Amino acid sequence: MLVVWDSTVDIYSCVVEGHAALHSPVVCVQVKVTPEQFSEYKTLTCITTCVLTGNPTYIWYKNGQIVTDNTSPYSVLPDAADSYSCAVKGHEGLLSPAVCVQGQSCYRVTYTKRRICVLKGSTVDISCTVGYYYTTSSFWFRSDKSTPEDLTTDPGYARRVKCTGTYRGPFTLRITDLREEDSAEYRFTFKTQNIDWGHSFPGTTLSVTGLQVKVTPAAEGQKTLTCSTTCTLTDNPTYIWYKNGQNVQGVSSPMYSISSEDADSYFCAVKGRLSSPAVYKPKTSVSVSPSGEIVEGSSVTLTCSSDANPPVKSYTWYKKNGGDYQSMTGPQHVFSHIQSSDSGEYYCESQNEMGTDRSGTINMDVKYKPKNPSVSVSPSGEIVEGSSVTLTCSSDANPPVDKYTWYKKNVTSPKASGQSYSITNIISEDRGEYYCEAENKGWNNSILDVFVDVLCKLPHL
C-alpha cells in the first residue's frame, strides 16, 4: 500500500493513492514517550495511524532543531526541559506536536493555526504559545529567508508589522495591508539562558489571495458565477454580489446563477473587505493598419480589439454582404496583397464566457490605378471618307478616371482630351493607330497610364 499525505488542513489525513475518497481526518504522526514515569532513559516512538510499507526513515527534532535521521524508536536521556517531535522523511510538513520528555513544561512552540488563508489588503494575526516561560529574546521570521531575520526590521514589512506578547506569551504577529507576496511560512524563535529554539521547526503557513469571478455553464439557459480564491479562506466570510455596480440583495453565497443571455457586469466582494474585478461580455471595436488610404497590392491588417473579462476566447471576422473571414489564431486578419475585390465593409465578433459582442463596421476602400481598358469605335464597320467617327475610351479605376487624353501614333502632340474623341469629315490623312491615356490622381497625385492601340482603316478612293 502506497501512502500519500494530504496536508491541506490543520488536522491531517492519510490517503491511499488512487483512493483519495476513502481518507478520513485523523492525526497522522505523534510521539509516544515510554516509560511515562522517571527513568534513566526514555524511548521515543514515532507513531503513524497509517500502515507504512517498507522501512520508513524518521526525522527527529529536539527543541525545534533537526537532530538526527533515524528509525523509530529513539532513545534519549530524560532532560526535563527538552521537547521532541518527529516526521516521516519526505513528509516533513506532517510534523507531530512537540512533547516534553519529563512533565508538561519544556522548550516548545505551539502554533494556534498551522495554515491561514486571508484576503489581500486585510489584517492577519499569527499566534503561538511557548512552553517554557523564561525567554530572554524572541522574534518572528519568514522561513524562506536563508538566514532568519526579525520581521520588524525587514523593509518589506515597514509599518505593517506589530509583535505582541510577554515572556509568558502568547506571542502574536500582526501583519496589516496584506499583499500576495506576503504568502509564506512564518516561524517564531526564542532564546533562554540554555538553548536557542531551532529554526527548522515548521510554523504557520500564510496564503494571501485575491478575489476572482469564474464563469461556468450551468443548466440549460443558465451560467454560474463563482467568487473564487486561490485558497480556502480561514474565516467564514459573507459574500456580496454587485450587478452593474449595484448591490444584489439577498445573495450571500459564493455562487450566483444568472441567465446565459445576461449581458450585465458582475463582481463580488467579501463583506467589509476586498472586491473582485468585474466580469462582463466583450466591448468590441475594429481598426485598420496602416491608417490612411489603401493601395492595391499593399499589406493591410484588420485588428479586432476587445475589453472583456474573462478574456476573449474567440474572434470571427465577417465581410458585409460577403463570406465570413474567420480567424482561428487571434484577433487579426491580414491581407498580404490586398485586391480591389477586397473592398467592402468588415466587422468582427468576439466572445467570452459572458457573451458575444459585434463591432461596428469599417470600410475598406482599395485604391487602384486605371485597368481593364477598352476602346470602342462608332459607327462600327467601314469608315468612309467624309463621314464622322467617334472613339470612346473606358477604364476601371478607384478613384474614377478624371482625365482621358487621345494620341495618334507617331504624333507628339495630343489630338484631343475627354473620354470620347470625334473626327468629323474624315479624310485619308486621318488613317492610323490611335490610343488613349486614362489618368486618376485621387490617392497619390501621380499619373498612371494604360495604353490601348486603335487602328482606323480608311478605304483607298
389 strand-pairing partners: 423
Give, for 344, the enclosing helix (H) or strand (E): strand 344-352
Q: Is the dihedral of CA 380, 384, 389, 394 positive or negative?
A: positive
3-class secondary structure, 438: strand
Q: How far apart are the C-alpha atoms of 167 and 150, rounded to whole Å?
A: 17
pLDDT computed for residue 403 by the predictor: 86
Say if residues 28 and 50 touch (Cβ distance below 8 Å).
yes
Among the listed residues 278, 328, 267, 331, the one whose alpha carbon sits nearest the alpha carbon of residue 308: 278
Q: How far apart are the C-alpha atoms of 153 and 146, rounded to whole Å?
A: 16
pLDDT computed for residue 455 by the predictor: 52
What residues contact 390, with CB distance under 8 A and at least 6 apart? 377, 378, 420, 421, 422, 423
Per-residue confidence of the chain (461 residues) as pLDDT tens digits?
233 333 333 333 344 333 333 333 344 788 888 887 767 788 888 888 776 666 778 888 888 888 876 767 888 887 778 889 888 888 877 788 888 888 777 888 889 999 999 999 999 999 998 877 677 788 999 999 888 899 999 999 989 999 998 766 689 999 999 999 999 999 999 888 888 887 888 899 999 999 999 999 887 889 999 999 999 998 888 899 999 999 998 888 999 999 988 889 999 999 877 889 999 999 999 999 998 889 999 999 999 999 999 999 999 999 887 666 777 678 999 999 999 989 999 999 999 999 999 999 999 999 998 888 788 888 887 888 888 989 998 888 888 888 888 888 888 888 889 999 998 988 888 888 888 888 887 544 444 444 444 455 555 54
pLDDT computed for residue 26 by the predictor: 41
Q: How far apart are the C-alpha atoms of 107 and 135, rounded to whole Å?
A: 10
Among the listed residues 350, 364, 360, 357, the one whose alpha carbon sits nearest the alpha carbon of residue 302: 364
C-alpha 304, offset from chain centre: 18
Q: How far apart are the C-alpha atoms of 434 and 230, rounded to whole Å?
A: 82
Complete DSSP assignment for 388-437 = -EEEEEEEEEESPP-EEEEEETT--S--EESSEEEE-S--GGG-EEEEEE
Query: Whole-model pTM?
Result: 0.68
Q: How far apart are the C-alpha atoms of 309 and 307, rounded to whole Å?
A: 7
Q: How, if at all, do strands 389-398 and 420-423 pair?
A: antiparallel
Among the listed residues 280, 317, 321, 322, the one whose alpha carbon sits nearest the alpha carbon of residue 300: 317
Q: What's the Cα-to-Cα distance from 236 to each of 32, 253, 254, 273, 274, rounded to whole Å?
A: 35, 11, 11, 13, 15
Grid cell listed for 108 = 516548545
What residues contact 334, with CB distance under 8 A and at least 6 apart? 299, 300, 301, 302
Complete DSSP assignment for 195-229 = -B--TTS--EEEEEE--EEEEEE-STTEEEEEEE-
- Spell out the domains of the chain, with CATH numbers in brackets: 3-100 (2.60.40.10), 109-209 (2.60.40.10), 212-278 (2.60.40.10), 282-364 (2.60.40.10), 369-456 (2.60.40.10)
Grid cell listed for 149 = 531575520
Q: How far apart are the C-alpha atoms of 199 and 410, rounded to whole Å?
A: 103
Q: Which long-range contacts (CB under 8 A, 24 or more apart) does 15-18 make?
A: none
Q: How, if at all, do strands 222-228 and 255-259 pair?
A: antiparallel
Q: How far apart are the C-alpha atoms of 20 and 3, rounded to whole Å?
A: 10
Which of 240-264 are b and which e, b meaning 16 or more Cβ less than 10 Å from the residue's Cβ? bbbbeeeeeeebeebbbebeeebeb
Among the listed residues 71, 85, 75, the one whose alpha carbon sits nearest the alpha carbon of residue 31: 85
pLDDT computed for residue 377 by the predictor: 87
Q: Which long-range contacts (CB under 8 A, 24 or more apart) does 220-225 make?
A: 221/259, 221/260, 221/261, 222/257, 222/258, 222/259, 222/260, 223/257, 223/258, 223/259, 223/260, 223/262, 223/353, 223/354, 224/255, 224/256, 224/257, 225/255, 225/256, 225/257, 225/258, 225/266, 225/268, 225/279
Residues 253, 259, 262, 268, Cα dihedral to 10°: 10
pLDDT computed for residue 6 by the predictor: 35
